[in-house]
Structure 1
Amino acid sequence: MEATGRLPAVRGIDAAAPFRWLGWAWRDLWTTPGPLLLYGLLISATSLALSWAIYRTNAAFWVLALTFGFVFVAPMLAMGPYEAGRRLDRGELPRVLDLLLVRKALRQDVAYLGLALLVIYFFWGRIAQIVYGLSTWQIYRTIPEFLTFALTTAEGQRMLLVGSGIGGIIAYGTFVLVAVSAPMLLDPRASVFAAVATSVRAVSRNPGPMLLWALVILALVMLSAATAFVALIVVFPWLGLASWRAYRELVAEAPEPAAARPLNPVATR
């Protein structure tokens, strides 16, 4: 940690860990559903409004490109659910204001991580634009037109293959950096450098389970996009809580709950 100049130890996990995190998070979600579902509703409504606004400008490609790019910025948007997980660990029930204004996230190190993710997000958008531009000279103004091109033509299929490959590499690299670091930064002792280094070490020690966790997150986000982001109302806070559980199990020196009877099974490990 920053206070001692020493990085926290990371634990090894088994392949069932991602599903264990989801199970704990599902229980936590329904422990205090009101604030968390409202948070999810705000994320869902914002995502839908932004996508609709882009679509109305006849930019079907950008709707899809930015939807896939959502995974790059989601960790910073999930500070509310991380805070809910932290409070539940302490035996507290979070309120709406606790999630909307996370005081522990209002510091320089969190801003640095957010800026880095924003740069990666814009970089992904530029890469997607280049791949699209090299694949076709036409502008597809509606989503059905774009999907017809992408799925039924050789050029479109190559675009999907190349774009998915490059995007997957960028997305997984981003995941390695933030899998643990985003929730870890709610600990005021942690610097952004220590948090990112700890995240990399946690993924490196558990490559199989963490790859599975990344695929689970991607699948749930894509499922949410397929429902016009309606599923994000539940999925977003659920994944945020699960990411907090992942941090608590992976990082040996994660702050222990203060409550005598913790709400999270990880606290009793």
Structure 2
Amino acid sequence: MDEVAPAATTRLPDVSTIGVGAPFRWLAGAFSDFRKAPGPCLIYGAILVAASVGLAVALYYAGALRWLFAAAAGFFLVAPMLAMGLYRAGWMLEKGEKPGIGDILIVKSAFRAELLYLGLALFVIYSIWVEAAHLIYGLSTHKFHKTLPAFVNFMLNEKDGHAMVMTGTLVGGFLAFLAFSVVAVSAPMLLTQKTGVFVAAITSVRTIAANFLPMLVWAFLIVALTLAGIATGFLGLILTFPLIGLASWRAYRDLVPGSSADLA
């Protein structure tokens, strides 16, 4: 389907107030969408998993354990940018069209400069997290844990390891929620509307401010589903990541009610 770019706008759109049960409704709708196009969504998820496993294996055999855990935590920061094809799938399903794998792997709207700026902002937040993770690890121990079992043992069985995990969780959680606030609706908004990155980011923050508790529930569900996927050796992400992406599209459409007229 041809994509027609709407006129540029700098107007801040209205945002909706939602109930605390809305995130569960988004997930239920996402499952319904998934059932309409399971093949392309599973292939999309499998490609993501293959890339994730490849990166994890490379870091492990390179002995870069600190990078391995930093990369796993950083996944939460960059995931919204990896879901562009799923946003498009949600859009097509909303219009009664069935997306093919080509529709969601090649999304022309994702190559806009404004999305590049958003990705750059997330990269900056991720870089801060990586440096913070290294600093927290360095301040927590004078040892260098060369193997994964040694590092896990340090985290679980040593007092300094417990302090490292607690500090890392607090710092990482803050940075993750900061990124979530900026990108919660801005990524799908920039994909479908000719608007600036600042307008999209401000709109995203406004949706968080107007719906703090429901969006906190949504963030928790995203983390829980992602961790469940990672805990299965990444295989669960083949299903959970497409569900999160499709639900995120529904969240955007719910939170920014005037967006339909500007769909690309």
Task: Assess same fold via TM > 0.5.
Answer: yes
TM range (shorter): over 0.9
TM-score when normalising by structure 1: 0.92
Contact residue 182 and residue 204 of structure 2 kept, 8 A: yes
Over 3 Å counting, the alpha-carbon distance change for 1:60 and 1:3 in structure 2 is closer
1:189 shift after superposition? 2.3
Corresponding residue number in structure 1 for 2:126:
121
Which runs of structure 2 are paired with 1:98-247 in the superposition (5 Å)? 98-247=103-252
| 1:31 is aligned to 2:36 | yes
Mind listing any 5+ residue stretches in structure 2 that lack a counterpart? 1-5
1:253 shift after superposition? 1.0
1:120 shift after superposition? 1.2
Mind listing any 5+ residue stretches in structure 1 that lack a counterpart? 259-269
Q: Identify the match of residue 83 of structure 1 among 54, 65, 88.
A: 88
1:188 shift after superposition? 3.0
| Amino acid in structure 2 at the alignment position of 1:92 | E
Contact residue 10 and residue 195 of structure 2 kept, 8 A: no
Deviations 1:170-199 (A, max 9, x none): 000110000010111122322211110110
Deviations 1:214-258 (A, max 9, x none): 111111111212112111101111100000000000002111599
Q: Give the distance between the partners of 1:186 and 1:255, measured in 2 at CA.
A: 13
Query: After TM superposition, where is structure 1 displaced by more than 4 Å over at least 4 residues in a row?
Result: none
| Amino acid in structure 1 at the alignment position of 2:170 | G
Over 3 Å counting, the alpha-carbon distance change for 1:99 and 1:216 in structure 2 is same
> C-alpha root-mean-square deviation of aligned residues, in Å?
1.6
| Amino acid in structure 1 at the alignment position of 2:142 | W
Percent of paired sites with the same residue: 47
Aligned length: 258
TM-score when normalising by structure 2: 0.94
Over 3 Å counting, the alpha-carbon distance change for 1:138 and 1:87 in structure 2 is same
